[in-house]
Structure 1
Amino acid sequence: MSERPTQDDFGYFHELATRWSDCDMLGHINNARYFTFDESARLDYFDALIRGDEGFWKRSGFILARIECDFISQVHHPAQLKFGFRVRRIGRSSMNTEGGMFVDGRLAAVTRGVLVWFDYERNCSAPVPDAARRFIRAREKVAPEES
């Protein structure tokens, strides 16, 4: 596992409260919900970019290619989650993301994903547009690696 992020690594946070339905039989937040929390943060992170483009999801946009999670500590309901999200690397057609889920200032989980910029009309990957690169650079506290 790579180095664990801290709250200082993130320039963007998505805050949400756990729900009773997030719990499993052991009384903690079910592991599958962590991917839902990452999805909520990811879509909120990109919301202004998505809203600014009527063709997003129709002609082009990103698509999730990979997602993983390191579970650091249990989370019990009720809890207020502070989910940091960032793009760590922008490649030609893909982006590596990282999420840090914090509860009371403590890191509870780390998600890592790969997004691919996708041409939905031709059903294939496409280069990350300059507008998306500028959007990401402006949001990030730590500049993403670019290749």
Structure 2
Amino acid sequence: MRHTYACPLRWSDMDAFGHVNNAVFVRYLEEARIDFMDRLAPGNGSVSFTGGSVVARHEIDYVRPLVHRHAPVTVELWVTKISAASMTVAYEVKDEETLYLRASTVVVPYDFEAERPRRLTAEEKAYLKEYLDDAAQSKGAVAG
């Protein structure tokens, strides 16, 4: 299953060449990832996904320039790997006809009070598994 986020484009996202600046795409990915994590937080007193997280790695392939328009762009996000203390999410930024970007991010849950990474809880892993792509599941992308 994939999480879908409708990301609005802002006039200030454009660079001098008239398309979305490469650094702005990282903000689009962040917005989609935060929306994804907020929707996964189960509520009812659970603390899952309510702490912090840090980005350990971004990998981005820019496929095609994106120019300003009033319609939002779609950011699809899914999980490709779940380990004991991190997860990897993949993204596609696109619309109905065009793929603009493919990316992945390694995210580490982080305890800001203790100032150190923490392990994913069983509850968090269960939620993330719902978004684990089929190819990753067949390769055993869930660890510890």
Same-fold call, TM cutoff 0.5? yes
> What corresponds to 1:62 in structure 2?
53
Identity %: 26
Segments of structure 1 that go 5 or more residues without pairing to the other structure are 1-9
Q: 1:90 to 1:56 in 2, by over 3 A?
A: closer
Match among 16, 33, 36 for residue 7 of structure 2? 16
Q: When the two structures are superposed, what TM-score results if normalisation uses the length of structure 1? A: 0.81
> What corresponds to 1:124 in structure 2?
116
Which amino acid in structure 2 is aligned with residue 146 of structure 1? Answer: V
Q: Contact between 2:85 and 2:109, CA under 8 Å: does it hold in 1?
A: yes
> What corresponds to 2:142 in structure 1?
146
Which amino acid in structure 2 is aligned with residue 45 of structure 1? Answer: F
SS of 1:146's equivalent in the other structure is: coil
Q: 1:55 to 1:73 in 2, by over 3 A?
A: closer
Q: How does 1:1-147 map to 2 (within 5 A)?
A: 11-50=2-41, 52=43, 53=46, 60-78=51-69, 79-140=71-132, 142=134, 144=137, 145-147=141-143
Write 1 or 2 for the structure with the bigger share of strand.
1
SS of 2:25's equivalent in the other structure is: helix
Q: Contact between 1:12 and 1:140, CA under 8 Å: does it hold in 2?
A: no
Q: 1:103 to 1:56 in 2, by over 3 A?
A: closer
Question: How many Å apart are 1:80 and its aligned residue?
Answer: 2.9
SS of 1:45's equivalent in the other structure is: helix
Q: When the two structures are superposed, what TM-score results if normalisation uses the length of structure 2? A: 0.82
Question: How many Å apart are 1:37 and its aligned residue?
Answer: 0.4
Query: In the aligned structure 1, how far is the partner of 2:126 from the partner of 2:49?
Result: 17
Provide the aligned length of Structure 1 versus Structure 2. Answer: 136
Question: How many Å apart are 1:87 and its aligned residue?
Answer: 1.3
State the superposition RMSD in angstroms.
2.1
Segments of structure 2 that go 5 or more residues without pairing to the other structure are none
Q: 1:62 to 1:42 in 2, by over 3 A?
A: same
Q: 1:55 to 1:14 in 2, by over 3 A?
A: closer
Query: In the aligned structure 1, how far is the partner of 2:99 from the partner of 2:49?
Result: 33
